[in-house]
Structure 1
Amino acid sequence: MRSITPSERRARLAVRHRLAASQRTDDAAGIARSLVALHATDPATVFLSVAARSVSATPAHVEKALYEDRSLLRLLAMRRTMFVVPVELVPVLQASCADALAVKQRRTYGRLIEQAGVIDGDVQGWLRDVENATHEALLARGEATGAQLSADEPRLRTQVDPAPGKSYSRPTNITTWVLVTLGCEGRIVRGRPNGSWSSSQYKWTPIEAWLPGGIAQLDADEAKAELVGQWLRAFGPAPASDIKWWTGWTVADVKKALARLDVAEVDLDGTTGLVLADDLDPVAEPEPWAALLPALDPTPMGWQERGWYLGEHAPRLFDRNGNIGPTIWWNGRIVGGWAQRKDGEIATQLLEDVGADAIAAIEAEAGRLPGWFGDVRAIPRFRTPLERELVS
């Protein structure tokens, strides 16, 4: 069994994730392909993930890929998480993740509506009818906010208390529920936001604006194998447990997907890892590199087992729900954190001694960020201990 050391895994990470200087590009869609998908729960993450891997790109490059070229698309997929993905991967994610998610979301929302007692009769049939009417309203408009669609389809304003009797619960209308379900089904897409690139108030657009023929239908098992293959190309070698965590699937789903692929087992410091069988050749160590990655960047969020690049720094850099904050990297390891202060200053803190060369490289990376942010102030959606300390 071939052994792959942590240092070789870090070299792969630097090259495959376009973090080494020689691998950087201003192609936003190309960066997304290198990582399979860009985390988009926090809208700013998409832009800052591109910034860290680009040479001279600006937010306008990402906006062009999203809203003009439409080579990238937002959707809910793995672990019911928002991602921005290359459009050619959308059918794979739709069949492997989103279709099942749509079923689950409709079941959940239907149960809440039924429990609220606001609809007589067939709740699922009523909900499906509201979804279809909302879709028709969006087709007529071409682009719309949730408020505009609820004006067109009054049933979207139906009020439901999702947790009656609980002090934290508040009645809400079903607009977002319906739009999320339509999005999971691949019928509508989150388009350009109202506001800056860090805003999460999106307009909605029919899927045909990105994919004129709609989303191609794929076999779910084939799609899952394709997704795992792409993940292994970008993040392998790794234990099967990392695949399970990243996809959010069951152990059985992961095993079934792996059975369709030609994979090899490797030794990862005493743990069995998996890699595509044609990807066993050593990866040359790249030149020394530094990077400032944003909160929820797909690189640190790509694995469940993070010791080989995170060390002992998790308590300062993660929140209680497992969301990572902004991180500083040196040669494939996390060595500190950073934050944007209210005045736009980029504050950094190292958590270990990295030497003068590393400090110079890290300062150079930090110096690139104010020009990227401009007047935008992007507070991470999930605050971490170190990030809070740096902005206080």
Structure 2
Amino acid sequence: MTASPQQAWLRAERLRSQHLDGRSATPLEVVRALGAVQAQNGSAARWAIGVRSPGSVQADIERLFESGDLVRSWTMRGTLHIVAADDLDWMLALTSSRQRAAVAREARLRGMAEDELQRASELIAEDVERNGPRTRAEALSTLERAGIAIGDERGYRFIRDAALRGRVAWGPMRGKQPQLVLVRPAGQHDRDELLARYLVRYVAGHAPATVRDFAWWSGLTLTDARRARDAAGSAIETVGEEEWLIEPGRTPGDAAASAPSPVLAAAPLNSFPRLGKASKLALRSPQSAVQAIPGWDEYVLGYGDRSPVLDPEFAPRVSATGNGVFLPTIVSAGRIVGTWRQGTKGSHLVAEARPFTRLTAAEKRGFDTSAARLARFLGLDGVSAG
């Protein structure tokens, strides 16, 4: 299906902002660019970084956790994300109170009073400060020794609450177990300044997007999202009837002159508000534009409205409910054209494409290339036919 001029522009720009256009970037640069990488599934989150950082391997990401540059915490929407460690405190300053309020009822149902939550968070942080990084089992053992009951899923909630208070976060692995580390103390922040920073970072890693997309992604209220737009001022531009938020200088004509592959053909600046009439935007789709991205990827979950890149007809094949499990997807020229699954056969990766309709020969080659990159990323010998 031929993309409309607006779809072509939007998809090309999202590939660029999301670092899915083949540009060279380090894993840390990728995380900073996206702002946060959804990470309830640790393996998927690591490939979400790796697919955007050509040449990187999983060990590169693990070293960033070991050095303290990356952490994993409940930064927004009650969901774990990987973020740069020095971004965590200000993000939580905006999002933690709303997240804690959302889980307050379930805490009360389990008899978890505020004073007990406060005491548990202090005990966990003191244990990490005294003994170094601690696994979940070690942190819960500390609570038990202090007489705090951890059954009925209370233990998990104590750890989450300590993280939402900005005391600890998940850091490097010990074997197959993540470890809790101390969080760098939060400074004093002006709320409007933080809202502006949050939106500017989101737009840099997700544009074009709307204020409503930002509200969904950040977990903030729509009122706060609009306040963020006002606070951001000229740091963000708005274009089109849909009021797409973009970085300054990324209007269609400007983007055409500077965009890396996939690229846009030139179009007059005043054509965008009347897309479909004068605009001559076109998206070229080289083989490198085909990517096998993981489940829960920011390219899908980074927006409240996914229809610009995912046909609503096929959305249930990516996520049956639209808010739960999200399968790995195949992206071709910015459009999601199918799902895929992976396994291993000996020392080889097995990657099976499950297109919504039919992949072209070029798309099949692109998928195979992306699968080979994943095999290298994981340290496997290659890709097996299964």
For normalisation by structure 1, the TM-score amounts to 0.79
Give me the whole-angstrom Cα distance separating, in 1, the residues matched to 2:75 and 2:336. 27
- Matching of residue 131 in structure 1 with residue 121 in structure 2: yes
SS at match of 1:304: coil
Distance 1:360 1:150, change over 3 A: closer
SS at match of 1:77: strand
Tell me which amino acid in the other structure corresponds to 1:135: A
| Contact 1:158–1:174 (Cα < 8 Å) also in 2 | no
- Matching of residue 286 in structure 1 with residue 261 in structure 2: yes
SS at match of 1:172: coil
Runs of 4 or more, structure 1, over 6 Å off, are none
- Matching of residue 245 in structure 1 with residue 219 in structure 2: no
- Matching of residue 361 in structure 1 with residue 336 in structure 2: no
Report the CA distance between 1:12 and its aligned residue. 1.2
| Contact 2:196–2:231 (Cα < 8 Å) also in 1 | yes
Report the CA distance between 1:295 and its aligned residue. 0.2
Give me the whole-angstrom Cα distance separating, in 1, the residues matched to 2:214 and 2:140. 39
Tell me which amino acid in the other structure corresponds to 1:255: R
Report the CA distance between 1:4 and its aligned residue. 7.5
Give me the whole-angstrom Cα distance separating, in 1, the residues matched to 2:144 and 2:290. 52
Q: 1:164 is matched with which residue?
A: none
Report the CA distance between 1:227 and its aligned residue. 0.5
Give me the whole-angstrom Cα distance separating, in 1, the residues matched to 2:123 and 2:87. 28
Distance 1:282 1:43, change over 3 A: same
Give me the whole-angstrom Cα distance separating, in 1, the residues matched to 2:21 and 2:120. 49
Q: 2:137 is matched with which residue?
A: 147
Give me the whole-angstrom Cα distance separating, in 2, the residues matched to 1:131 and 1:54. 36
Report the CA distance between 1:226 and its aligned residue. 1.0
Report the CA distance between 1:285 and its aligned residue. 6.3
Give me the whole-angstrom Cα distance separating, in 2, the residues matched to 1:366 and 1:173. 38
Distance 1:137 1:10, change over 3 A: same
- Matching of residue 111 in structure 1 with residue 87 in structure 2: no
Distance 1:358 1:133, change over 3 A: closer
Report the CA distance between 1:236 and its aligned residue. 2.2
| Contact 2:121–2:167 (Cα < 8 Å) also in 1 | no
Q: Which of 239, 254, 266 is the matching residue for 2:239?
A: 266
Report the CA distance between 1:194 and its aligned residue. 4.1
SS at match of 2:255: coil
Gaps of 5+ in 2: 263-285
| Contact 1:346–1:370 (Cα < 8 Å) also in 2 | no
Cα deviation code 1:286-321 (max 9, x no counterpart): 242211100011112111212221123212111324
Give me the whole-angstrom Cα distance separating, in 2, the residues matched to 1:14 and 1:173. 40
Distance 1:35 1:135, change over 3 A: closer
Q: 1:319 is matched with which residue?
A: 320
- Matching of residue 20 in structure 1 with residue 14 in structure 2: no
Report the CA distance between 1:36 and its aligned residue. 1.6
- Matching of residue 182 in structure 1 with residue 162 in structure 2: yes
Distance 1:182 1:272, change over 3 A: same
Identity %: 22
Gaps of 5+ in 1: 116-122, 161-170, 377-390
Give me the whole-angstrom Cα distance separating, in 1, the residues matched to 2:327 and 2:7. 23
Q: 2:74 is matched with which residue?
A: 76
Pairs aligned (count): 344
Give me the whole-angstrom Cα distance separating, in 2, the residues matched to 1:150 and 1:265. 48
RMSD: 2.8
Give me the whole-angstrom Cα distance separating, in 2, the residues matched to 1:316 and 1:52. 22
